[in-house]
Structure 1
Amino acid sequence: MRILILGGSGFVGRVLAAEAVAAGHQVTVFNRGQRDPVPGVTTLVGDRLADPDFGPGTWDAVIDTWSAEASAVGTAAAALSGRAGHFTYVSSRSVYLWPGTARMTEDAPLAPLDDPGYAGDKLRGERAASAFGGPVMFARAGLILGPHEDVGRLPWWLDRLHRGGPTLAPGPRDLPLQYIDVRDLALFILATAGVEGAFNLVSPSGHTTMGELLETAAEVTGGRAELRWTDPEAILAAGVEPWTDLPIWLPPGEGHDFMHRGDVSKAVAAGLRCRPIRETVEDTWAWRRSLPGAAPKRTDRPRVGLDPQVEAKLLGIS
């Protein structure tokens, strides 16, 4: 296929471009040209917030990874109408109405369209994509992990566990997690070019657990960490924020069910396959170790990671 990726140099877009090139597709990326491109792609340099010029080309599929102001999605979709066979917008499971219910399918109620936050941006992005005028697929991803992650969730855990010593491990140990390796997300999107509609794109709930994730990560990073499993009540009483102070983790309850118990049967039936957590951890750690300094972090996402002093106090370490 001839594929145009809007983005293509950060996290999801970069991996999409790399997987598409590896599969033999002809890949063009459109971005501001501020990062090194994936080898084998054609780069169109431009600013989608201004007046994007996609040149004279036509494509079989367009993939848009934009996550901010939805007008940029609409502008691109309208400009590419009639010039591509299919449009995929990488959306989010955040578009569902909070608090929602466990096992939410793609037909679950959606957030208000005027929601001022991330959920609203993604939902308005879905609406704006209709300007494409052809078949559109919404890839409603959940927690995305893997090499090149620029939010910092799994990289923070890997760095912390590599540092070693007594390490706060948020319980319960058997807490089910739901996430998707960025490469599995990319492969599904590439394989479903031409398919319309929304798909929840995360692993089945319980694909891994908090225990398996941290124990695997502790082993992979050198076996230096002594995991000390701590009850959620003690963590919350100390003022620790789930998801940000302790990335990935949410205590049992509405928030956890919303993020980690979604229904993915539609995507699985359409071919979604999820690799084991060990492969995600090992490959992310290999990528992390290849970097000359700190892992890249997006400036439009909250800082993640627990203050070492707060951790020591919770663990009773002077």
Structure 2
Amino acid sequence: MAMENARNVLVIGGNRYFGKRLIARLRDEGHRVSVLNRGSSPPPDGVEHLVADRDDEHSLTGALGSRVFDVVVDQVCYTPRQAALARRVFSGRTRRYVMTSTVEVYEYEDSPALVREEAVDPAKVTVDLELPWDDPVFLESHYGEGKRQAEAVLAADGPALPYTAVRVAHVLGGDDDFTGRLAHYAERIRTGEPIAVPVANRPATYIHVEEIARFLAWATGETFTGPVNAASHGTLSTEELCEAVAAHVPGGRAVFRPVDVGEVSPFSFRRSYGMDNTRAGRLGFAFADARQWLPRAVAETLGKGD
């Protein structure tokens, strides 16, 4: 499909879940799409495949050659080292760099009010490139910090690499949700096993897998910079999630076990995880209401969709 304002877009990563939906959406909208990964998963038809290790600057520049892009969407930037490498490689090679960040950058914020982007200003975040970012155990336990510092590296570069960091809410939906979090609830509801939740269990904002793909595709055509929250309207509680799951488990009923300390079930939180989406709305993106798509998301994930 030809498109008058077709963009030349590079997606780094994007092999699964909302990344692959983003790639398909951009392609179907008529944009020229290239995907860069380590070669383990080929992109769909009609998409250029570049094979490289994004952590190896020589490998990355070799795969890119002389290519330039209107937009780069980096789905797999988790650390300040990776952000620094991206800054070196893509400054002058793209007009816009879109990093998928996370609600976890707000892990130290604890307010019943929905949090706005300015609560974590990347320009004020301290960067430590010497931390053991290459250690998978360290990285997993410092996921939010890695994303925060990656944003900070990009913010420090100023106009050399115009960027936005899309802070993504918890994602639900699709028949390929690899996290197993809703399946966790379905199994406990089916067996009657108690679901561990904090004594004070806080709600969170969410976004449907197709909606975040649509948001990222939209962002590739915009010019705004800096952090932006991506979340559907409204918060959801663990109880609401389990009620939606129980509708697909015959005779099922959620039994909750509040705990003061120790491990709790996924999507149950000791602090609020709600993001304010006002900035994205003012920029022109229309979010759906989480309660409207929740039943469909649960049906998709549990294999009960139409």
Provide the TM-score with structure 1 as the length reference: 0.73
Q: What is the letter of the counterpart of residue 82 of structure 1?
A: G
Residues 136-160 of structure 1 deviation map (CA, whole Å, 9 limit, x = unaligned): 1110112122333333323433455
Determine helix, strand or coil for the equivalent of 1:57. coil
Equivalent pair of 1:2/1:25 in contact (CA under 8 Å): yes
Structure-2 change in CA distance of 1:71 and 1:135 (3 Å): same
Q: What is the letter of the counterpart of residue 102 of structure 2?
A: S
- In the alignment, which residue of structure 2 is the partner of 1:144? 171
Structure-2 change in CA distance of 1:108 and 1:33 (3 Å): same
Quote the sequence identity (%).
24
Pairwise mapping of residues 114-153 of structure 1 onto structure 2 (< 5 A)?
Answer: 114=127, 117-130=142-155, 131=157, 133-147=160-174, 148-153=176-181
Equivalent pair of 2:166/2:229 in contact (CA under 8 Å): yes
Distance 1:158 1:26 in 2: 40
**How far did 1:29 drift?**
0.7
Aligned residues: 270
Unaligned runs of 5+ in 1: 290-318
Runs of 4+ in 1 over 6 A off after TM superposition: none
Q: What is the letter of the counterpart of residue 8 of structure 1?
A: G
Distance 2:107 2:259 in 1: 25
Equivalent pair of 1:165/1:226 in contact (CA under 8 Å): no
Pairwise mapping of residues 144-293 of structure 1 onto structure 2 (< 5 A)?
Answer: 144-147=171-174, 148-161=176-189, 164-169=190-195, 176-193=203-220, 194-206=223-235, 208-220=236-248, 222-228=249-255, 230=256, 234-237=257-260, 240-242=262-264, 246-251=265-270, 255=271, 257=272, 259=273, 261-270=274-283, 271-274=285-288, 276-286=293-303
Determine helix, strand or coil for the equivalent of 2:300. helix
Determine helix, strand or coil for the equivalent of 2:117. coil
- In the alignment, which residue of structure 2 is the partner of 1:28? 34
Structure-2 change in CA distance of 1:212 and 1:119 (3 Å): closer
Distance 2:126 2:17 in 1: 27
**How far did 1:31 drift?**
0.4
**How far did 1:80 drift?**
1.9
**How far did 1:204 drift?**
2.9
Equivalent pair of 2:185/2:195 in contact (CA under 8 Å): no
Determine helix, strand or coil for the equivalent of 2:164. strand
Equivalent pair of 1:32/1:47 in contact (CA under 8 Å): yes
2:88 is the counterpart of 1:78 = yes
Structure-2 change in CA distance of 1:73 and 1:175 (3 Å): closer
2:67 is the counterpart of 1:54 = no
Equivalent pair of 2:90/2:161 in contact (CA under 8 Å): no
- In the alignment, which residue of structure 2 is the partner of 1:11? 17
Determine helix, strand or coil for the equivalent of 1:263. coil
Determine helix, strand or coil for the equivalent of 1:38. coil
> Alpha carbon RMSD of aligned pairs, Å?
3.0
Determine helix, strand or coil for the equivalent of 1:226. coil
Selected match of 2:73 from 48, 52, 63: 63
- In the alignment, which residue of structure 2 is the partner of 1:293? none
Distance 1:114 1:241 in 2: 30
- In the alignment, which residue of structure 2 is the partner of 1:96? 106
Distance 1:154 1:179 in 2: 13
Q: What is the letter of the counterpart of residue 26 of structure 2?
A: A
Structure-2 change in CA distance of 1:286 and 1:39 (3 Å): farther
